[in-house]
Every structure is written in structure tokens, then in C-alpha cells.
Chain A
């Protein structure tokens, strides 16, 4: 199903349509799955990009550091409307979630010390435990899809343990492990 939205004569979306498109993507993504929702809206419903363009942009968004889904919005905005499009997509994706997170966070900080406010904190402890599981489960999923050999598995394990258990700062861990991983991938491709 395709929705009609405001377009310019050249068929590209207006800045307002970009903002609203990404705002609705953000609101649908309660609990995650932002990339899947982005693809549904941008490719399937609105037809702004085709699947090839989308997947290419998704790959770029993962290679470049930063929140993948924010990167993806900036990429799509740039492709469709240049710098102004990037700004519209970025604020479309982040404005409402920003307001929600800040509101809930302020309630959390205000009720923290109050008598009777403890239930919020107790519930959050359970949600935090699930959120940790979400990270670990995502790691398992990514690993199953992307790691099939012993050397990449060892690289992933070294990164996970050095940062997660032994507290090595990320910058040092990456400065060593990215070159190691590049070398391993290069040797793998030559073999």
C-alpha cells in the first residue's frame, strides 16, 4: 500500500513530508526495530527509495560510527533533499522521542527519593534486566548471521571481554582490534 504525500514537481518529497515521515517511523518503533520500520515506510509505503538504494544506505549507516538508525535517516534525507533534507529527517526522527525520554526521565529523577516513588525504580530494575538481555540477544543474533569462522569469532570474543569484563577503554580496544580485524579479513580474502 502506498500513501499519498506532498511532493514537489520533480517527484521528491517536501521537507515537511520528510519530517513527518521520520516522525511517524520513530513513533512506530516503540521497543526497537527502527530499521525495519524505516524500510517499510521509505521503500514500501512512500516509494522514496528502491530496495537497492535502501540496503546500500543501510550498509553505509553501519560502517560509519554513530546510532545506525539516526545515520540511516540522515542518509535518506541527504539522498532525497540534500542538506536541508538531512536536517528534516534527523529532527523528524529525534524530536518526539527526545521529548518523551526527557519527560519520563524527569519524572524518574523527581520521584526517586519520594516515599511511594520506589515502585517506579523497582519496575525499572526489571526493565533494565530485560534491556541488558536485549543487547546480549542482539549480539547472539548478529553473531549467528555475520560470524561463521573461528578467527572472527575470536575477534568478537576479545572485544567483548576486554571492554565488557576487564574494563579496557573502547578507544584502546578499537585501536588494536580494528587493524587486527582488517588484516584478518584481508588475509581471508586472499586465501
Chain B
């Protein structure tokens, strides 16, 4: 139990500081550690929890709470929550005190320019890793392709599409 809590703290504490470009980018590592390495949950459960955290209000990174809950109950959920959000929040808090507009704008612009393609790549990687890690039938593939196009080119509210996707699978009865 204590060992599991330490593993949760170590995993999410590290991922907190690697999540360049937002929380979605660390999903592949989260999946590998939780599913393949520690066997806290199956690939299917991981994708289900990912769907729950994306459909719910608030930050999508709250998936860590569900992983922690499955691995070690409420203590696990609490540890996962604190480990995922404390390191990055402290970093922002400290930086916010020294953040002055225009100061060292050359370096800031350089870092922003350099991190942009890395963040884009991490965002794609999370989608690809989730597809790879689960048994994706032909219908889920079609839904994924259609919703990728919808989100890329329209302003549709994700909740509507999430509902449609769920309804479609229920209708297909698979």
C-alpha cells in the first residue's frame, strides 16, 4: 500500500514537470506506467477513465485521480491529485512573481517558438498511443476519424460529440 502510494507520487510528480504544452501530452507515459508497468488497470479501463475525465467539467488531467483510486483507494486518489498538480503549480507560482511583460522578450519568444512544435507533437502522440493501447474496432476508428475532423475544422462543443459517440456505440450494441 505504502509502496503503491510512493509509486503514484513518483510517477505523477515527474509527469507534472514533463507536461509541456498541457496535461494531454503525458498520457502515453501515464498509460504505459499504469497499465504495462504497474498493472493498476487494463488498457480498456484506462481509455474509459480518459473518456470520463474528458467529459467531466474541469481539467482533463483529473484522470490521475481515477488511476490513484483504482490503484490504492481514496489515499491513492489524494496522493495522485497532489503529485500531479503541486510541482507544476509551485513552478507557476514562483514564476508569476518574476514575470514581467517585455522583460527578456528575446529569450521568452525563443522558448515559446521552440516549445510549440514539441507541444503539438505531444498532443498527437497522446491520441496515437491511446489508439495503439486499446482494441479499437472499426466503429471506434470511424468515430475517432470523424471527431478528429470535427474538432479540427468546426467549433462544435465536445460534450455533444461525446454524447453522440456514446449513443452510436450503444446503438451498434457492440
Contacts and interface: CB of A to CB of B under 8 A. Distances in A.
Interface string B59-101: 1111101100110000001000100110111011101110101
A105 B66 contact: yes
A112 B137 CA distance: 20
Interface of B is mostly: helix
B128 interface: yes
A96 B93 contact: no
B69 A109 contact: yes
A186 B129 CA distance: 31
A174 B118 contact: yes
Nearest to B85: A70
B89 A90 contact: yes
A156 B90 CA distance: 28
Contact of B124 (A65, A136, A182): A136
Contact of B52 (A29, A56, A94, A104): A104
B26 interface: yes
B30 to A, nearest CB: 9
Contact of A182 (B85, B110, B126): B110
A79 B21 CA distance: 22
Contact of B99 (A56, A142, A188): A56
A157 B25 CA distance: 14
B41 to A, nearest CB: 9
Contacts of B116: 142, 146-147, 152
Interface stretch (A7-15, A40-48, A123-131): A123-131
Contacts of A178: 20, 114-115, 118
Interface residues on A, range: 35 or more
B62 A101 contact: yes
Contacts of A153: 117
B2 to A, nearest CB: 22
Interface string B149-161: 1111000011111
A90 B85 CA distance: 9
B56 A101 contact: yes
B111 A101 contact: no
A162 B121 CA distance: 9
A79 B59 contact: no
B61 to A, nearest CB: 4
Given A30-B159, A34-B59, A174-B20, A71 B127 contact: no
Contacts of A94: 58-59, 62, 81, 85
B140 A170 contact: no
Contact of A32 (B111, B158, B164, B167): B158
Contacts of B130: 128, 131-132, 135
Most buried by B among A131, A144, A156, A167: A131
Closest 3 interchain pairs by CB?
A: A66-B88, A97-B58, A137-B151
Given A67-B88, A164-B128, A178-B114, 19 more contacts: A29-B58, A63-B112, A66-B17, A96-B57, A101-B53, A112-B45, A122-B174, A123-B170, A125-B44, A125-B174, A126-B139, A129-B165, A133-B161, A137-B147, A140-B148, A156-B124, A159-B118, A163-B121, A169-B32
Interface of A: 26-32, 34, 52-53, 56-57, 59-71, 74-75, 78-79, 83, 86, 90, 93-94, 96-98, 100-102, 104-106, 108-109, 112, 119, 121-144, 146-147, 152-153, 155-165, 167, 169-171, 174, 177-178, 181-182, 184-186, 188-189
